[in-house]
Chains A and B, each alone.
Chain A
């Protein structure tokens, strides 16, 4: 076990190095002038016009050989310097850190919800093979899989905001925002719902929740389809196993065998896929946050991309890649704990 974890940990820097090389290569597609933005710390640094730009390109060596520039860039990145973002009007690293809790709150809720729901639905379909619940669930998942996130999100917005006015877009109402920013409100985690509860402020909690519902539903809807299918297939396989028949034979009721014996083992492939689904959800966040005007990392990235704010877009890409690599490592490490049959090399 320990050697396995060590091996994975040793591989981590290699993967991160290759990743940084890739992001940097992408960056080299830009002209030196465009890339200069990543090196200046604010707009005031470029007051001198074209001449100063040329000077700065010279100063920062943006015409140097690839490897020289890479070394300099990675040095900065390791110290947390990702350049200046025009869209956020602050350094990229600061923007990423300040927006992270908002996205985390959204993804955590949506991920938990879609994980639990897909296991429930997949089990339901699996134990009812070729009966009505199975057909309905299969149809809904394939429809859901073909439905573009943003069309679904816009329809949600149309119905629940436009027609019914139940769930408004954005992250908090104006009054709640004022309250959250006031001195009495302590930001423990940056997650609005949790902070509101910790502060004992129920109105703010409800407001935060009200704003979360539509984005969470949209994100869940998108990722639930594939997980449900996997759970269904896996459940079908597990129900064919000998030990399930044994459990039935010794007189346990069907429901108990299905819920307790079969479902638990059938969940394993879903856990494996959950890591990848989380990655897909990170992509979905960009669209969902944009639709619902939810001020998080995703909307920031979308705004930055539309405004050709290269340092922000590249910093965002690097940031998410690192988060993902670390998360996949965690899943790999946890997996053998769940399934002792997995042999650790």
Chain B
């Protein structure tokens, strides 16, 4: 409860929580905010008002204007919120499960098991994350499922290392020996006695990583290996704005809306997670002076 109070009293984390709540509401209310057209196969396919290349400015039809190919920016920003949550929570959720399992096994059994698992972690960390994810997404093909898999395959190692170091500390504690002395099995000790005490740092890391995973996913879309054309995804729409960054002579900011709205959406989304994660880390840090 102290944690919750701190989160609400700290102005920065309160801002983060408010922003997050806003995004959650947008994601839930997406079908009402941006109503899909009857002909759409999936609500994530952004409707387009024609096939003309040049972006069109803000109008009563398109509240945020349209981008290259007449895709409606408002629609994509709204439904892109769901995409962002799916990717962020999906990748982090899966990574936590894999990382915690690997880290717990390595730390609890130690010895050769630990050595082998940690060297595997090292190898996975040897390739720069964005490049590894890009390579794997290229091989798997476009789509958010594929992106989630690619980001998870190269994103679980941090949790494994963290959980391992936490457990190495905890497993020497007296209460663990006590549990073993009255006959509790390995699995029971790990799952019921050790892991719950190692999870708060994992939660902090997971919160901080959610924003960064969304950033990386949108970078993949930006590079053209992420989602299918027209999919409601912020990174994709920023990629569309690339060709219109420089307006006509004498009016350099002519197409500002193509970059501004999707860019602001992703910035605020990532900022929200980082602010909350930062506050959580402050709580965790023993040197923290409140």
Docked Cα-Cα span, A18 to B122, in Å, equals 10
Contact at A158–B119, with CB atoms within 8 Å?
no
Docked Cα-Cα span, A300 to B137, in Å, equals 16
- Contact digits for A140-175, partner B, Cβ 8 Å, 1 yes 0 no: 001101111111001101100111000000000000
Contact at B130–A286, with CB atoms within 8 Å?
yes
- Contact digits for A291-328, partner B, Cβ 8 Å, 1 yes 0 no: 10000000001100110101001101100110011001
- Which stretch from B48-56, B61-69, B104-112, B264-272 is at the chain A interface? B264-272
Docked Cα-Cα span, A154 to B235, in Å, equals 13
A117 within 8 A of B: no
User: CB within 8 Å of B: which residues of A?
Assistant: 14-15, 18-19, 22, 26-27, 29-30, 142-143, 145-151, 154-155, 157-158, 161-163, 236-237, 279-280, 282-284, 286-287, 290-291, 301-302, 305-306, 308, 310, 313-314, 316-317, 320-321, 324-325, 328
- The interface residues of chain B lying within 8 Å CB-to-CB of A313 are 134-135, 138-139
Contact at B139–A162, with CB atoms within 8 Å?
no
Of B138, B219, B235, B245, the contact of A310 (CB 8 Å cutoff): B138
Contact at A283–B128, with CB atoms within 8 Å?
yes
Contact at A286–B223, with CB atoms within 8 Å?
yes
Contact at B223–A162, with CB atoms within 8 Å?
no
A18 (CB) vs chain B CBs: closest residue: B123
Docked Cα-Cα span, A321 to B122, in Å, equals 11
B131 within 8 A of A: yes
Contact at B138–A287, with CB atoms within 8 Å?
no
Task: Say yes or no: A26-B135 contact (C-beta < 8 A), given A15-B126, A18-B123, A291-B242.
Answer: yes
Contact at A148–B266, with CB atoms within 8 Å?
yes
B138 (CB) vs chain A CBs: closest residue: A305
Of B119, B222, B246, the contact of A150 (CB 8 Å cutoff): B222
Number of A-B residue pairs with CB-CB distance less than 8 Å in the complex they form: 140
Docked Cα-Cα span, A314 to B270, in Å, equals 30
Contact at B132–A317, with CB atoms within 8 Å?
yes
- The interface residues of chain B lying within 8 Å CB-to-CB of A290 are 222-223
- The interface residues of chain B lying within 8 Å CB-to-CB of A284 are 130
- Contact digits for B258-290, partner A, Cβ 8 Å, 1 yes 0 no: 010001001100110011001000000001000
B85 within 8 A of A: no
Contact at A305–B134, with CB atoms within 8 Å?
yes
Of B128, B218, B225, the contact of A320 (CB 8 Å cutoff): B128
Number of interface residues of B (CB under 8 A): 48
- The interface residues of chain B lying within 8 Å CB-to-CB of A324 are 126-128
- The interface residues of chain A lying within 8 Å CB-to-CB of B129 are 279-280, 283
What's the dominant secondary structure at chain A's contact region? Answer: helix
- Contact digits for B23-65, partner A, Cβ 8 Å, 1 yes 0 no: 0000000000000000000000000000000000000000000
Contact at A142–B275, with CB atoms within 8 Å?
yes
- The interface residues of chain B lying within 8 Å CB-to-CB of A237 are 287
Task: Say yes or no: A286-B138 contact (C-beta < 8 A), given A306-B225, A317-B127.
Answer: no
Identify the interface centre among B124, B131, B138, B245: most chain A CB within 10 Å of its CB: B131
- 27 example contacts (A-B, Cβ-Cβ < 8 A) are as follows A22-B124, A27-B139, A29-B139, A142-B12, A142-B271, A142-B274, A147-B270, A148-B215, A148-B266, A148-B267, A148-B270, A150-B219, A150-B238, A158-B253, A158-B259, A163-B252, A279-B128, A286-B130, A286-B131, A286-B223, A287-B130, A287-B219, A290-B222, A305-B223, A306-B223, A310-B138, A317-B135
Docked Cα-Cα span, A22 to B275, in Å, equals 36
- The interface residues of chain A lying within 8 Å CB-to-CB of B275 are 142
Contact at A19–B126, with CB atoms within 8 Å?
yes
B120 within 8 A of A: yes
- The interface residues of chain B lying within 8 Å CB-to-CB of A154 are 238, 241-242, 245, 259, 263
Contact at B123–A15, with CB atoms within 8 Å?
yes
Docked Cα-Cα span, A290 to B137, in Å, equals 18
Contact at A162–B270, with CB atoms within 8 Å?
no
Docked Cα-Cα span, A305 to B219, in Å, equals 13
- The interface residues of chain A lying within 8 Å CB-to-CB of B138 are 305, 308, 310, 313
